Amino acid sequence: MSSQDTTPPDSPQDNSRAELDEASSATLDALEDVLDAVREAHPDTPQWEFCEGALTALLCTRRAVPQAEWLPFIFGRDAGDIFASPAQETTFLMGWQEREAQLRAALEAPVDSLEDEGALAPAVMDWRGLLASLPEPDRAEAAADQDGPPPALAQVWAQGFMAAVDRWSDDWAPPRDKEIAESMGDALACVDDLLDDDTAQPALNLYEPDAAPSVSEARFEAFGEALWAVYDLYAIAKSLGPRTGPIRNDDKVGRNDLCPCGSGKKYKKCHGA
């Protein structure tokens, strides 16, 4: 999937996201400022929501993907052709690292509810809620400037997440352990569901509560299920660790060590059986 397919219409950012803490909002504002500046030279630059989905997937990838791989993936061009200056690049990379740390902290925090303080709260946008909150003349003008209907809640975030999974498909290949592989597949399916449009009856507006409804109850629940799925994927990645190459006969692995194949099983119950 190219980043050209993931650029929603430009809009104000106030009230555009779910509740975020002050540090997260400041980080996101800085990142979006850089993306807006890059977009002047490269109109196909994705909105942060796509980047946030990709970043979340990278956190759930079994190895640490280096900057030399993910940076050109995000922008769809060589790293040297992205930023207008070293200062602009530094600002973006510092913001990326800050947001990465914020998301990692949320994924490692013990939470019982998505409403808990510190729970995962991706920077997603209710684009339809934004349009519904505009006065009729502005709404018609904004709709006329769009290339197709606005995306559903978290649709762009899911596009970024699944695009990263596809890009690093080898790292996302299911492990040999059938139970873990099934859990991984179920979790990815929850994120993948958000790629579909929200065609159910709108019931709430996440941009402006008093405006016309723009998100269905089913979509809101599916988004919540996808967030819990991300927790599962993060835990699976941490438990399995990076994938390794084929097992050689001269590999020295203790029978009670984890099997180097990445199955999550002890060697004696996997390749050492």
pLDDT in tens, the chain (273 residues): 333 344 444 433 333 444 577 888 999 999 999 999 999 999 999 999 999 999 999 999 999 999 999 999 999 999 999 999 999 999 999 999 999 999 999 999 999 999 999 999 999 989 999 888 888 777 777 666 667 789 999 999 999 999 999 999 999 999 999 999 999 999 999 999 999 999 999 999 999 888 899 999 999 999 999 999 999 999 999 999 887 755 444 456 676 776 665 555 666 666 565
Residue 266: phi, psi to the nearest 5? -70, 150
Residue 167: phi, psi to the nearest 5? -65, -40
* Per-residue pLDDT, 8: 40
Contact 92, 45 (CB under 8 A): no
* Per-residue pLDDT, 136: 78
Q: What distance in Å separates the CA atoms of residue 157 and residue 65, rounded to the nearest whole number?
A: 19
Q: Hey, what are 172's tokens?
A: 């996302």
The residues near 161 (Cβ < 8 Å, ≥ 6 apart) are: 53, 54, 56, 57, 191
Q: What distance in Å separates the CA atoms of residue 214 and residue 133, rounded to the nearest whole number?
A: 10
